[in-house]
Structure 1
Amino acid sequence: MKATYVLPIAAPTSQVRALTGYLHRLSRVIAEVIVVDGSPREVFEAHARAWSRPVRHIRPTSRTTNGKVGGVMTGVQAARHEHIIVADDDVRFRREELERMLTLLQHFEVVRPQNIFRPQPWHARWDTARSLLNRLAGGDWPGTLGVRRSALLDAGGYSGEVLFENLEMVRTIKAAGGREAVSLDLFVVRRPPPARHFVSQRVRHAYDEWARPARFAAQLALLPGGLLLLLLGGPAALIAAAACGVAAAEFGRRKGGGRTAFSPSSAFWAPAWLAERAVTSWIALSIGLFLGGVRYRTSRLRYAATPRRLLEQTVREACDKGRLEMPRTNAA
């Protein structure tokens, strides 16, 4: 396939065992595979010895507070092909899914598929409920995107000073006139993280919703709303609300052919995820107001994503001047 697969990593320990087989399989079906590796020197050298034959293994040439963005832009700039698939190290494409992504990229500037967890330990089932609910409201956000190289470079890249980097990329391309395909029936496997890592991400994922104020407000309302239900209607009212959450997740499971990808029991985890988000939203709000941002590796990120109106304004101004560039400032 005449396309480029970009995989940005920054691993503290060797990923040779986890990734080598997958990278070899990718290199047999896609023309160019680029691993942009920001790992420490010893780990980078171990990766180079294992991967130098099937892939282009390079260092990131730009540094951003959100290190993934620097890795992605390094890979996009180095790519030899117009159609690019960017994916995290836990994503596992099969040939037919790659073909579908590249077909969609012939008609759209950015493509957003849907991830499914395989295998499914308890925390993957818990997080699957989030995916099902998101499918009702514009689609879930996966660990992979398809993008046209020219569209992203013509837009001047995307900000590396925000937390929700996939949303930032899509917003930037759309602000520059690009079209997005949200493919609800294109399912790509994702390996679940260890349970400890999953737990550590709960507040950070809630902080992402600073980028979508209406959704953030709705999630903040979950906790006081639940307490009010308990006060006025007792446990029966909470059980009824939980049943509504399960029903909503089931609608998400059925949407876009999801019944072929998500198990029938997935929707029953929705109350657990809603209870989690009812608490972590308030923690995320407090972090944003009083600590100046959420912890990301060795720094803090204040902004979840650049507002659409600011990106669109920047594009208009750039077009008036005959050029495009990323905004220098962001707002929550």
Structure 2
Amino acid sequence: MEFRHPQPGYLLPLKWTDDAGLEELAKYLEQLCAHLPVLVVDGSAEERYAAHAQAFPAAVRHCRPQHPECRNGKVSGVLTGVDMAETEALIIADDDVRYTLPQLERIRTLLGDADVVRPQNYFPSPLPWHARWDTGRTLLNRAFGADYPGTLAVRTAVLRRTGGYSGDALFENLELLRTVRAAGGCEVRANDLFIARVPASTRHFLRQRVRQAYDDMAQPLRLAAELSLLPALVWGARRPRCLIVLAAAAMGTAEYGRRRDGGRQVFGPTSALWAPLWLVERALGVWVAVHWRLRGGVPYSGTRLKTAAHSVHWIRRSLGD
């Protein structure tokens, strides 16, 4: 398959401290290079950067971040890619995202009517326990609207028009989406476009728990609902039937998310059973996130980030609209 002109470019913002998956990533990029331009903006330490340059296919454009340093380093990589892009659109993907060629073509088609496209990630089988656990979160998000994936496709013109987006926000994907909307751009939620994601290590999964809960500081209604979970669990602890009802409601909601928009293609029949466990985790984690907020922000790469993401209204005002 070849893309019809114009084609998007593929942008991978990278910053690794461990090259355990380098060989597999290089093979994936080699497959992509035959069909679209690939840019890797690599903020890794010098030794790893050199190893990446040697391992990546010659067709990969490999460079250092050139945009002024952001507190959220990924944003520096993305904005460098936007500045360097020679295509009208970019598929921005984390290092664990794995597109197939038909999925790339579908993204290209959707960009014909959108400024930003938001697909759906999933973990392919076999799933480690923590991927099953996190799938519970994914299904609940789908039940109430859409999940936040590790990949987006965006027209470069809209981000150039806004001067990029804030590099001081923890939830950088939400910040990008809101910036596009604040600029009058159109977002397409492709809940039926399922893009595989390689499960993280158990250590990385555990390290992300509070940080992901902190993202909800940017979503007041969701935050209020999650803050109520712990009091509800404490109240229900002396009423086992109530806990059973709450667990059943969580599984039923997650099952609805699994069935929405063809989700049964990629989410297994037992996926919804993990939703109550994730809710217990979030019931605790969101209060820890509030603690970090009161202390000035969540720890991130040697600094603290207080803002999860700015509101559309705040961004619109900052753009002078």
TM-score range, shorter chain: over 0.9
1:86-120 Cα distance to aligned partner (Å, 9 max, x none): 00000000001101111111100000000001241
Q: Which residue of structure 1 aligns with residue 48 of structure 2?
A: 43
Q: Which residue of structure 1 aligns with residue 167 of structure 2?
A: 160
Cα drift, residue 52 of structure 1: 5.2
Unaligned runs of at least 5 residues, structure 1: 320-332
Pairing of 1:132-151 with structure 2 (within 5 A)? 132-151=139-158
Q: Which residue of structure 1 aligns with residue 203 of structure 2?
A: 196
TM-score, structure 2 as length reference? 0.95
Greater shift in the superposed pair: 1-10 or 161-170: 1-10
Preserved contact between residue 6 and residue 84 of structure 1 (Cα < 8 Å)? yes
Pairing of 1:317-332 with structure 2 (within 5 A)? 317=320, 319=321
Amino acid at match of 1:102: R
Pairing of 1:209-228 with structure 2 (within 5 A)? 209-228=216-235
Amino acid at match of 1:208: D
Matched, 1:74 2:80: yes
- Tell me, in whole angstroms, the C-alpha distance in 2 between the residues paired with 1:54 and 1:198: 32
- Tell me, in whole angstroms, the C-alpha distance in 2 between the residues paired with 1:286 and 1:38: 30
Matched, 1:102 2:108: yes
- Tell me, in whole angstroms, the C-alpha distance in 2 between the residues paired with 1:144 and 1:251: 24
1:167-194 Cα distance to aligned partner (Å, 9 max, x none): 0000001000000001110000000100
1:42-71 Cα distance to aligned partner (Å, 9 max, x none): 111111122251200011002111000000
- Tell me, in whole angstroms, the C-alpha distance in 2 between the residues paired with 1:264 and 1:312: 42
- Tell me, in whole angstroms, the C-alpha distance in 2 between the residues paired with 1:40 and 1:199: 24
Cα drift, residue 12 of structure 1: 1.5
Q: SS of the counterpart of 1:106?
A: helix
- Tell me, in whole angstroms, the C-alpha distance in 1 between the residues paired with 2:81 and 2:91: 10
Preserved contact between residue 67 and residue 160 of structure 1 (Cα < 8 Å)? yes
Cα drift, residue 200 of structure 1: 1.0
Q: Which residue of structure 1 aligns with residue 189 of structure 2?
A: 182
TM-score, structure 1 as length reference? 0.92
Matched, 1:312 2:312: no
Cα drift, residue 3 of structure 1: 1.7
Q: Which residue of structure 1 aligns with residue 90 of structure 2?
A: 84
Amino acid at match of 1:80: E
Q: Which residue of structure 2 aligns with residue 247 of structure 1?
A: 252
Q: SS of the counterpart of 2:237?
A: helix
Preserved contact between residue 23 and residue 54 of structure 1 (Cα < 8 Å)? no
Amino acid at match of 2:155: R
Q: Which residue of structure 2 aligns with residue 64 of structure 1?
A: 70
Amino acid at match of 2:267: F
RMSD: 1.1
1:273-317 Cα distance to aligned partner (Å, 9 max, x none): 00000000111011101x2100111111011001221112223x2
Q: SS of the counterpart of 1:250?
A: helix
Q: Which residue of structure 1 aligns with residue 134 of structure 2?
A: 127
Q: Does the C-alpha gap of structure 1 residues 52 and 261 become closer, same or farther in structure 2, counting only changes over 3 Å?
A: closer
- Tell me, in whole angstroms, the C-alpha distance in 1 between the residues paired with 2:165 and 2:22: 30
- Tell me, in whole angstroms, the C-alpha distance in 1 between the residues paired with 2:22 and 2:215: 31
Amino acid at match of 2:232: G
Matched, 1:294 2:298: yes
Q: Which residue of structure 2 aligns with residue 22 of structure 1?
A: 28
- Tell me, in whole angstroms, the C-alpha distance in 2 between the residues paired with 1:13 and 1:206: 25
Matched, 1:259 2:250: no
Unaligned runs of at least 5 residues, structure 2: none
Cα drift, residue 147 of structure 1: 0.1
1:184-215 Cα distance to aligned partner (Å, 9 max, x none): 10000000100111011100000000000110
- Tell me, in whole angstroms, the C-alpha distance in 1 between the residues paired with 2:59 and 2:202: 31
Amino acid at match of 2:230: L
Cα drift, residue 83 of structure 1: 1.5
How many residue pairs end up in the alignment? Answer: 313
- Tell me, in whole angstroms, the C-alpha distance in 2 between the residues paired with 1:134 and 1:52: 37
Preserved contact between residue 171 and residue 309 of structure 2 (Cα < 8 Å)? yes
- Tell me, in whole angstroms, the C-alpha distance in 1 between the residues paired with 2:276 and 2:144: 17
- Tell me, in whole angstroms, the C-alpha distance in 1 between the residues paired with 2:241 and 2:115: 48
Q: Percent identity?
A: 49
